[in-house]
């Protein structure tokens, strides 16, 4: 806490002194002393408070003050310069921050795009797989549920999984292939899932997908 207090005091002092110095740079300021002086001090103080941000952006460890008291004088010097050239300094810092934010956004967009591409590639590989041994178990599975689900409907559900293009199916896809209503299909799928005949997974975007169990 003592270190933080010292930093704040140095920044405030430098901002005020640098702001006053900036005020006396221009003779025209002498004609409107009060307003321009307050303005210069205020902007100088703000600029001085951006020095920690500037040091962080350039990866400087000056604020550690490992070489005291030299580092204190260097830090004060930075604050004074920032306050003395407050307008130019803050414009420069602002431009630098905006550039860094744009770089971060571009990197984030690239990462998101790569992640999306990888996900799509994985899903494509999965969907290209045929549904191995599930078809041979169809008669046994139909026998297990014959008393709960009409055989004709169950048969349509199983046939929808015989599409060799997909290993996983959505409710909409099953409804389209089977010719059943979406609501009816969902109810049948839920019953089959309860019987551990169909297993539910979570696909891209959180969408529910289903596959026959082995």
pLDDT of 79: 92
For residue 31, the 8-state DSSP code is G
Residues of the chain with pLDDT under 50: 124-125, 127-137
Tokens 């307008």 -> residue: 87
Q: At what angle do helices 138-145 and 151-160 cross, to 10 degrees?
A: 140
pLDDT of 137: 46
Q: Which helix (H) or strand (E) holds 8?
A: helix 2-23
Closest by Cα among 145, 191, 138, 186 to 161: 138
Closest by Cα among 74, 75, 72, 81 to 19: 81
Write out pLDDT tens, residues 146-173: 566 777 777 777 777 776 677 778 888 8
pLDDT of 67: 79
Closest by Cα among 189, 130, 182 to 154: 189
For residues 124 and 120, give the distance between their C-alpha atoms in angstroms, rounded to a whole number. Answer: 6
Strand extents, DSSP E, 90-212: 198-202, 208-212
Write out pLDDT tens, residues 129-149: 433 334 444 555 555 665 667
Verdict on whether the full-model pTM lies above 0.75? no
């Amino acid at each position: 806490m003592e270190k933080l207090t010292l930093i704040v005091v140095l920044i405030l002092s430098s901002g005020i002194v640098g702001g006053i110095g900036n005020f006396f740079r221009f003779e025209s300021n002498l004609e409107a002393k009060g307003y321009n002086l307050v303005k210069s001090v205020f902007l100088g103080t703000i600029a001085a408070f951006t020095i920690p941000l500037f040091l962080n952006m350039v990866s400087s460890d000056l604020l550690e003050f490992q070489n005291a008291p030299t580092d204190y004088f260097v830090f004060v010097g930075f604050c004074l310069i920032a306050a003395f050239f407050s307008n130019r300094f803050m414009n420069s810092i602002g431009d630098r921050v905006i550039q860094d934010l744009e770089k971060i956004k571009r990197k984030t967009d690239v990462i998101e795009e790569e992640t999306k591409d990888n996900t799509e590639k994985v899903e494509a590989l999965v969907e290209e797989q045929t549904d191995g041994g599930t078809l041979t178990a169809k008669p046994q599975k139909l026998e297990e549920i014959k008393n709960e689900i009409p055989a004709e409907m169950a048969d349509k559900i199983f046939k929808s999984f015989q599409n060799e293009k997909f290993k996983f199916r959505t409710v909409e896809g099953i409804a389209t292939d089977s010719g059943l209503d979406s609501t009816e299909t969902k109810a049948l799928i839920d019953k089959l899932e309860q019987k551990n005949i169909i297993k539910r997974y979570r696909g891209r975007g959180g969408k529910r997908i289903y596959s026959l169990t082995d």
